[in-house]
Structure 1
Amino acid sequence: MKVVATHRLAEAKEKFPASKTALDGWYRIMNFTDFPSDIALRRTFSELRNNGNEYWFLVPGTTLLLKAIINFSAQVAMVKDVRPGVL
């Protein structure tokens, strides 16, 4: 899956430097894995909520939430927001 709008990840790493490793891990998993559906995505990311094609990920090891718009047929995930919060 191709991850786009990665500048939001870079901004989050600057704002929350302790989360750099966790955000890099999320990016590697998403960018180098093909997820054919949200079922496959949930197998990898159990802490996941969605509303249509908008998905909220709890970034492992942090208190950050990452919002991404995912198109499974195009295999594209666009990072929309990274912020502190809980699911």
Structure 2
Amino acid sequence: MHLVRLTGTSPWCRHATGDVLFLVTRGVLRVELRERTVDLEEGELLIVPRGVEHRSVAPGEALVLMSAPPLDGEAAGQPPAP
């Protein structure tokens, strides 16, 4: 797990080997999935199942506790897919 400071919009990504956990400790975070969008506030948690494409959007600075396996391609030493 890592405590990360997020701002702006991340690129779309997916993790083939495991789930991704987002726990907002400060600020607000939107997690966009292809089929829906989830808005998170301080203290709220979201788990994105493995293989589900997603991206995070932080309109301001958000402190987020995250746990995520490597992106598709990273484990094999290749850059992640766009």
TM-score (norm 2): 0.24
Structure having the larger proportion of residues in helix: 1
TM-score (norm 1): 0.23
